[in-house]
Amino acid sequence: MTRNNTNMNTKQRKSTLLFPDLSYKIQGCVFEIRKQYGPGQKEIIYQRLLEEKLQNANLKVKREKKINIYSQDSGKVMGIYQPDLLVEDKVVLEIKSSTFTTKTNEKQLYYYLRNSNFELGYLINFSTPRLFMKRIVYSNRRKPYLHFGASSRSVSR
């Protein structure tokens, strides 16, 4: 009986997860790279490896695509941000290669999500003793500035 409840809860949870299939593919590619190449490569190497692995999984990947950062007060574009990788125009990936991951790294991705049209991001550090991968979600429902003149504003996607 417990097993059925667990399976039911897992299915319910998966259905509410943002981009579950895409997330699963991204995570699988990240684990494969870490397994194949280990820690200690340069950041650009991990970026290129992940880009190639994701493309081989038939995913659309853009490296350092410019995305708009909006003012929370007016909804105007204040600048741009270039994530390491953008997958399927839905998920932002920030890649690191250092011996530790800082709260500043996490906050940076969080703020980019909070002030852009994107809701899901991954912070991935391949060179920590144990692979570091953090999934960060910031729902567009919490972004009132996206509703300021949305039809007249150009969105970089």
pLDDT tens for 23-54 read 999 999 999 999 999 999 999 999 999 999 99
Please say whether the beta carbons of 119 and 128 come within 8 A: no
Model confidence at 12, in pLDDT bands (50, 70, 90)? very low
Category of 7 on φ-ψ map: left (φ > 0), alpha (ψ -120 to 50) or beta = alpha
What per-residue confidence (pLDDT) applies to 55? 98
**Among 4-18, 20-34, 90-104, 137-151, where is mean pLDDT lowest?**
4-18
Tokens of 55: 């493309």
- Percent of the chain exceeding pLDDT 70 equals 83
Does residue 132 surpass a pLDDT of 50? yes
Residues ≥6 apart with Cβ < 8 Å to 95: 43, 46, 47, 50, 84, 85, 124, 125, 126
C-alpha distances (whole Å) from 94 to each of 20, 111, 138 are 19, 13, 15
- Of the ranges 4-8, 62-66, 68-72, the best mean pLDDT one: 62-66
CA distance 56 to 110: 28
pTM equals 0.82
Model confidence at 156, in pLDDT bands (50, 70, 90)? very low
Q: What is the 3-state secondary structure (H, E, C) of 3-43?
A: HHHHHHHHHHHHHHCCCHHHHHHHHHHHHHHHHHHCCCCCH
